[in-house]
């Protein structure tokens, strides 16, 4: 793991909540990695999550002077975005998939023509955030900022030409199975989250 930015406190908060695991993991991509973020640990530890969201909210407050909504994609990021909106004194809305397409329910009042900050848990390829941006545009919502707790691209994935703000930006190395140093050491591999995913 190459640490690019972020501070020791953030790292400690992730480790304390067991959201940052070290070992030998098979990622959804099929590649192998030494590190894995178990996002669900953040949701099931509200007190630990709140400390991280406090730091994220401070950063958003400093960097984005004027916006109306925090918007997060369902489901994992809802708790994070909701808590951030509460701390920032803003409204909250979430996007969700309906028949594969990312959408925002029409029931959120005042979203049209507003300014929104997108809050997501982890940035890997930026795919889901791009989809949130697209559905906000459909509702004439201006994207005032994009923030994640962890940027796994190490700052390498700008969205809409803008950098994504994060508490922790780190590049997690992923290895092809036939070139994995941990396979070479015959370390047992785990596939996180495999129990609740259709494979």
Interacting residues toward Zn ion by CB under 5 A: 32, 180, 182-183
Closest distance to Zn ion from the beta carbon of 174 (Å): 10
Closest CA to 172 of 23, 64, 40: 23
Nearer to Zn ion, 23 or 155 (CB): 23
CA angle at 49 for the pair 11 and 79, rounded to the nearest 5°? 135
Q: Which residue's CB is nearer to Zn ion, number 31 or number 51?
A: 31
Q: Which is nearer to Zn ion, 32 or 90 (CB)?
A: 32
- Shortest distance in whole angstroms from residue 148 CB to Zn ion: 26
**Nearest residue to Zn ion, by Cβ distance, number only:** 180
Give the nearest distance from C-beta 171 to Zn ion in angstroms: 18
Residue pair 111/104 in contact by the 8 Å Cβ criterion: yes
Instruction: For the CB of residue 176, give the shortest distance to Zn ion in the complex, in Å.
Output: 9
Distance between CA 164 and CA 157 in Å, rounded?
8
94 token code pair: 């979430």
CB of 185 to Zn ion, least distance (A): 9
Q: How many CB atoms lie within 10 A of CB 195?
A: 6
Alpha-carbon distance values, 85 to 26, 34, 56 (Å):
34, 33, 11
Q: Which two tokens stand for residue 53?
A: 């969201």
Q: Based on CB atoms, which residue is closest to Zn ion, 34 or 120?
A: 34
Residue 40 vs 183, nearer CB to Zn ion: 183
Whose tokens are 């190490």? That residue is 154
């Amino acid at each position: 793991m190459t640490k690019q930015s972020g501070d020791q406190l953030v790292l400690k908060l992730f480790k304390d909540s067991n959201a940052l695991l070290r070992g030998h993991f098979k990622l959804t991509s099929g590649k192998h990695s030494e590190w894995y973020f178990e996002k669900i640990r953040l949701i099931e530890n509200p007190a630990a999550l709140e400390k991280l969201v406090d730091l994220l909210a401070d950063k958003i407050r400093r960097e984005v002077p004027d916006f109306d909504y925090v918007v997060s994609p369902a489901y994992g990021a809802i708790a994070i975005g909701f808590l951030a909106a509460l701390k920032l004194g803003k409204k909250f809305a979430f996007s969700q998939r309906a028949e594969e397409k990312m959408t925002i329910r029409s029931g959120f009042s005042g979203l049209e023509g507003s300014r929104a900050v997108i809050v997501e848990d982890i940035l890997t390829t930026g795919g889901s955030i791009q989809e949130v941006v697209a559905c906000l545009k459909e509702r004439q919502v201006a994207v005032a900022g994009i923030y994640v707790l962890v940027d796994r691209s190490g700052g390498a994935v700008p969205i809409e030409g803008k950098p994504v703000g994060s508490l922790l930006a780190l590049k997690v190395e992923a290895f092809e199975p036939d070139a994995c140093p941990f396979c070479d050491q015959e370390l047992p591999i785990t596939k996180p989250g495999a129990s609740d995913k259709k494979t």
